[in-house]
């Protein structure tokens, strides 16, 4: 009886593992739409800049405080929009924060992630937004080997190019990675 259970367990395990292997992965697929990683070399991802407004490409979380809307653009930064006149919102600034996925605000301080670090920004003066604190390595240093929430083809990550800070749509030629 024990041998039968072990045998069937082995068969089930073999079946499960073989179902994860994609026989088509070795086939040439030609040009396809997918995602490619954007890299930051060295510690470039730690650079935070404030620029005039820019177009929102990929919405993330939204935070509202004192007639101001803060819109997180996934992996890129935070848009600041004046909503004093709701029928005519005005974009004010964009805070470029590579790898930013989440935001929170308390008082005049905006908290956001910057790849693996937590940043605290003073937003009391939109003409002088500054990083007042950085807590390094607060988030697990999980390599971004594939794009989150994406099913399909993507360019395999090449760690020698730097840290992956975002993914963008691209036409790929015979990509080796997909999920």
Strand ranges across the sheet with 177-178: 163-173, 31-40, 153-154, 177-178
Q: In whole angstroms, what is the distance from residue 38 CA to residue 165 CA?
A: 6
pLDDT for res 26: 54
Contact between 116 and 109 under an 8 Å Cβ cutoff? The reply is no
Which tops the pLDDT comparison, 150 or 3? 150
Cβ–Cβ contacts within 10 Å for residue 161, how many? 12
β-strands 163-173, 31-40 pairing: antiparallel
pLDDT for res 6: 46
Contact between 170 and 35 under an 8 Å Cβ cutoff? The reply is yes
| % of the chain residues with pLDDT over 90 | 58
Minimum mean pLDDT range among 34-43, 55-64, 144-153: 144-153
pLDDT at 94 over 60: yes
Chosen CATH of 46-135 out of 3.40.50, 2.120.10, 2.40.10, 1.10.10: 2.40.10
pLDDT for res 126: 94
pLDDT for res 165: 85
Contacts for 53 with CB less than 8 Å, ≥ 6 apart: 79, 80, 91, 92, 93, 94
Q: What is the mean pLDDT of residues 21-45?
A: 78
- Tracing tokens 């607060």 back to the chain, one arrives at 138
pLDDT at 7 over 60: no
pLDDT for res 44: 86
pLDDT for res 142: 61
Q: In whole angstroms, what is the distance from residue 157 CA to residue 174 CA?
A: 15
Q: In whole angstroms, what is the distance from residue 50 CA to residue 98 CA?
A: 12
């Amino acid at each position: 009886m024990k041998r039968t259970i072990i045998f069937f367990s082995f068969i089930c395990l073999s079946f499960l593992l073989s179902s994860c292997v994609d026989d088509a992965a070795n086939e040439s697929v030609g040009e396809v739409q997918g995602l490619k990683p954007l890299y930051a070399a060295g510690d470039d991802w730690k650079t935070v800049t404030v620029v005039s407004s820019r177009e929102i490409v990929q919405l993330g979380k939204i935070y509202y405080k004192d007639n101001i809307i803060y819109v997180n653009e996934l992996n890129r930064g935070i848009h600041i929009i004046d909503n004093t006149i709701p029928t005519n919102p005005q974009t004010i600034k964009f805070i470029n924060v590579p790898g930013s996925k989440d935001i929170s605000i308390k008082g005049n301080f905006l908290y956001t992630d910057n790849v693996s670090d937590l940043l605290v920004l003073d937003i009391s003066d939109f003409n002088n937004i500054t990083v007042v604190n950085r807590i390094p390595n607060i988030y697990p240093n999980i390599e971004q080997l594939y794009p989150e929430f994406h099913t399909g083809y993507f360019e395999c990550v090449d760690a020698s190019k730097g840290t992956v800070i975002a993914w963008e749509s691209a036409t790929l030629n015979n990509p080796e990675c997909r999920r």
